[in-house]
Structure 1
């Protein structure tokens, strides 16, 4: 299917292959990427951007069948998860989503460009090898980027694609040649600045252009400071016309069971 009316002139080049990160040496730069387990029934990918903040996709916080938010207290961040062990384990305390995000089963520009969420961990991760990533501005068309992700076919260790490209920027959405699959939702998209990886987007969905699979990424930098401030300034759940802050401060159970997060349109 075409998506966002992307021009047929997009050129698809051969990109770098996925590399499974199985050893400590492999993951040295990437321990801040982790698997987000949701009640043992599904997972997404997340990235540490402060010692107690994880960046991921907003749609990971919703049950795709009912549209209800998941129970935040059942989400666990497994930093650097590989082959049955993590560098750090942390439960999630609270979450804030992009203020303009509206959950929908349909994959469209409105959903994708606002598809980010911040998760506040119960306790900061202070382990020396697990370093939070800095964030940066959106890359331009033609820029080289990379992605570290877990996915349905690679759930027990992260995989790195060192080189893929931004094919287009349309309606606030990055269209990328990166190799993603179900479970890659929330995976950090990196630019390398002075040898240091910086997060520039979050994987939101998959799509197809001219018969080629592409990844779609959310815009990041503009709302991020506001979302951080919201977590810092809000001590308890607030009732709003459109919920943008969840908390497990109470023992409420939403009753929502999380299915595997879909990163592609049905």
Structure 2
């Protein structure tokens, strides 16, 4: 039985606007798909959320294989992401650009993206899930409810595929059990309780984190937001978009926007693009990528739209894996070579566009970036280097 204890970690969630829906996509080669859905949030609900304090203690119920789940008790200019020049334009101008692409498809076999996967449900849809230790996945609670039949998916009907990308994956596992956040009701609509508690922990049969790595859970508190606003970290989205369901998309055009009041609700600004509203939020800081949120709430009353996160405090899994961990063995690469190369080429640091995937060209591009940012010049690719590239370009 998976048990949990509570600490001071705020797990910050935001929620998408839209109608309840279920995406049915083409059959994957593995034969596993899952469910997608979202809630209708009216201006009335937005006003309710904007005035309510979303702070509550958290408890879990345990789901056995044979039973139904139980529940116990920055400052940022969001006008538009800057258009980035092509690599050839940047080269002809004699200097690199800090204009990060708004989003891009990444190599799912590279960490940290290898810790992201698809939780597939009974061949009917999917949700993004993120490994948060060797054997546990964080996902949306609504993904575990089979709305067509009005019941919860049983663990035997679920499958998690880490680092899934088209016809390949890093590793996969069946599900042993799952636990829902208290207060979540499958038919709760856009009630405040259901919105802020739309998350669950899924227990895997196999410890996939050893081969895929995992991401820690980061407290999105005032100190962290202040550091993000001061350029000491990066705030991004990553996961499987509804309109690009067979590859991981990373959104770079996000930033923390401060707190609505006290430390109970955190705002952020991201471009609201079709299919990206469901993607989880990650934060890069101090050399590591961590999970901080997993859905988006957009206020249509504001122009440009503001997205807001509701902090759900004092959550910590007993597993004790509070820090991120790159894979130590298996198919996943512990270093995001392809992602780094693509970003450096996009930003104009590659002397010979199109050759940056080669070792010598990549090393030269890395050295150029490090030198331009006043970093120690090593020419070596690493997870911290990826974070530095994203951070420097936000």
Whether TM exceeds 0.5 here: the answer is yes
- The 3 A distance-change label for structure 1 pair 158 and 67 is same
SS in 1 for 2:219: coil
More strand by share: 1
User: C-alpha deviations, 1:144-187, integer Å up to 9, x for none?
Assistant: 511111021110101011340234545845443334655864x4
Query: Partners of 2:310 and 2:158 in 1: how far apart?
Result: 22
Is 2:248 the partner of 1:158? yes
Match in the other structure for 1:38: 121
Is 2:103 the partner of 1:18? yes
Matched residues, number? 222
- The 3 A distance-change label for structure 1 pair 59 and 215 is farther
Shift of the alpha carbon at 1:220?
4.9
- The 3 A distance-change label for structure 1 pair 13 and 189 is same
Could you tell me whether the CA contact under 8 Å between 1:52 and 1:123 is conserved in 2? yes
Selected match of 1:50 from 130, 133, 136: 133
Query: Partners of 1:64 and 1:211 in 2: how far apart?
Result: 34
Q: Please, what is the CA RMSD of the aligned residues?
A: 3.2
SS in 2 for 1:111: helix
- The 3 A distance-change label for structure 1 pair 23 and 132 is closer
User: C-alpha deviations, 1:34-77, integer Å up to 9, x for none?
Assistant: 01111110110000011110001111111345653122221111
SS in 2 for 1:4: helix
Could you tell me whether the CA contact under 8 Å between 2:112 and 2:215 is conserved in 1? no
Match in the other structure for 1:131: 213
Query: Partners of 2:126 and 2:297 in 1: how far apart?
Result: 14
Structure 2's unaligned 5+ residue stretches are 1-41, 52-75, 82-100, 229-233, 321-394
Query: Partners of 1:161 and 1:204 in 2: how far apart?
Result: 13
Query: Partners of 1:104 and 1:205 in 2: how far apart?
Result: 18
Selected match of 1:95 from 165, 178, 182: 178
Structure 1's unaligned 5+ residue stretches are 230-266
Shift of the alpha carbon at 1:17?
0.8
TM-score, normalised by the number of residues in structure 2: 0.49
Selected match of 2:286 from 179, 191, 194: 194
Could you tell me whether the CA contact under 8 Å between 1:180 and 1:215 is conserved in 2? no
Could you tell me whether the CA contact under 8 Å between 1:64 and 1:105 is conserved in 2? no
More helix by share: 2
- The 3 A distance-change label for structure 1 pair 45 and 23 is closer
